[in-house]
Amino acid sequence: MLEYKAPQRDIRFVMNELLDSEGLYQTLPGTEEASEDMMNTIVAEASKFCEEVLAPLYQSGDEEGCEWSEDGVKTPEGFADAYKQYVENGWPSLAAPVENGGQGLPNLAGVILNELTGTANWAWGMYPGLSHGAVKTIEEHGSPDQKDTYLGNLVSGEWTGTMCLTEAHCGSDLGLLRTKAEPQADGSYAITGTKIFISAGEHDLADNIIHIVLARLPDAPAGTKGISLFIVPKYNLNEDGSIGERNQVFCGSIEKKMGIKASATCVMNFDGARGYLIGPENRGLNAMFTFMNTARLGTAVQGLAHAELAFQGSLKYARERLAMRSISGPKNPDGPADPIIVHPDVRRMLLTQKAIAEGSRAFIYFLGQQSDIEERGDEAASKEAADLMSLLTPIAKAFITETGYEAANLGVQIYGGHGFIKEWGMEQIVRDARIAMLYEGTTGIQALDLIGRKVLGSGGKLLMGFTKLIHQFCEEHKDNGVGAFVEPLAYYNKEWGELTMKIGEAAMENPDEAGAAAVDYLMYAGYVTLAYFWAQMAAVAHKKLEEGSDDKAFYEAKIHTAHFYFDRLLPRALMHKESMLSGADNLMEMEEALFAF
């Protein structure tokens, strides 16, 4: 049976010591109250809720799953009560603007809350999770009337939101979508079509569900240039804002899935449902990217969550499970065997999980801060933060979910045969983690976005903005006791730019070269990016030890894990380098007919 304990010490380390959140938020308008004490209190209270309310429902929810009927979808036992507590405690409004009924705390607070709820129970966390993207979309693109109508209840959690993009025939190629939007005399639109893979599209947790839907107007241009965005509520609203009659949108079925079985993944049928245009006609995909970018960062949190949960379960098991003797001599001479944590290969797996989880936490929290700077900083700082977010979001989404899945699989391996058995919980983490590499665009799509739109498309400017930060760090720390990390980091940072030029030059001759290199390029970028954060954490830990900190074991563990990352995981970037430089011919020259014979 899994037992989740929120990693409060590491959260505080990243939030306060690594990223100096209090110092940042004293400089950003509207976040001055986000002191270290306040943020620590929020973490402590959220941890208590997640450990005591959500975590006990993780395995039972998977076992029970969701139940579909013509009347709607019933979530597993305890989910609705947990959501009621979540709303009553004010958690949905934590990082929303005060003018929309929120508490006005930084986005980072919301990111941390998402990690805690997601690690405790990812399937449950998806029900409120999609609402954040709906809120951001309406905030940025909605009319004043739409904001007044929908934001208050979405922010409070009384209502939830969804993102209705894809259809059975188009997958990620949204230019092929067929859902129609017919203008009505009252200014609304009749939305008709079927959407698939709609997370939390129907459930029994909230009074209303606000769907954010992509559809085509009559005579709209073909492809992505002819897509518009609409608000479609489950229940229409009366003139006074109260809930009225049922709209013509229904859940036709729920998917039978590999994992996250307690989260309803719905087929949604729109049969002339009343909808309202958000933003300009035929510019819906541009507006939807607000939702998608929010969701991409949220999906990166999923990789962190599964790595953390797998590591916690693995560490407990490795300390308790007795099997064989250490090859260097007995470590538990009074027992029948040694605990498996003494074996080098088990330590390799545990340290891989730990390095992935803690490195990913630093990376994601950094992005949470950048989103706050983008929203609240001065013009120059906001532009710099936006550029960093643009470059790093596809890396975070793809790399952290890929490595998070690896960490989850290592959990099964550490448990051995027991890891394959349901009651221990490890196989559920693997099943739940697998979807993260598909959500909001597969790893391949994120890689194409990175190398095509963000790096080559910006002429390398977005990349240089980040590699400059790494260079500055290396220059500042080359002589202060962390040279073992600075020297290789500086090498990889320089090489990243050189590889980009080689791929760019090859792509000018043959566009397939960029596509062929894309995933390896992203993974290389991910390993170098995580190395940057591990080097930073090692530098902070080194300084704390020099100052004589009482928390010696914590900081020593940071430095040991940083060494492990640089020695064992960062060299994987070399494999990705060789693979990306091998060119497109080994992929494209073989005739299609030869794939089968």
Report residue 323: phi and psi, to 5°.
Answer: -160, 120
In single-letter form, the type of residue at position 161 comes to G
pTM of the full structure: 0.97
Q: Which two tokens stand for residue 419?
A: 């890891």
| Average pLDDT over all residues of the chain | 96
Residue 133 pLDDT grade (very low, low, confident, very high; cuts 50, 70, 90): confident
pLDDT digits 0-9 by tens, 428-459: 999 999 999 998 899 999 999 999 999 999 99
pLDDT digits 0-9 by tens, 204-262: 999 999 999 999 999 999 998 999 999 999 999 999 999 999 999 999 999 999 999 99
pLDDT value at 64 more than 70? yes
pLDDT digits 0-9 by tens, 392-419: 999 999 999 999 999 999 999 999 999 9
Helix (DSSP H) and strand (DSSP E) numbers for the chain: 20, 11
Whole-number pLDDT of residue 173: 83
Is 440 designated active site? yes
For the chain, state the CA radius of gyration. 24
Contact criterion met (CB below 8 Å) for 373 and 381: yes
Q: Cα(219)–Cα(212) distance, rounded to whole angstroms?
A: 21
- Domains of the chain, residue spans: 450-588
Among 62, 112, 36, which Cα is nearest to 432's?
62
Burial classification of residue 437, based on how many CB atoms lie within 10 Å of its CB (0-12 exposed, 13-18 middle, 19 or more buried): buried
pLDDT digits 0-9 by tens, 503-521: 999 999 999 999 999 999 9
Of these residues, 115, 202, 374, 440, which one is catalytic? Answer: 440
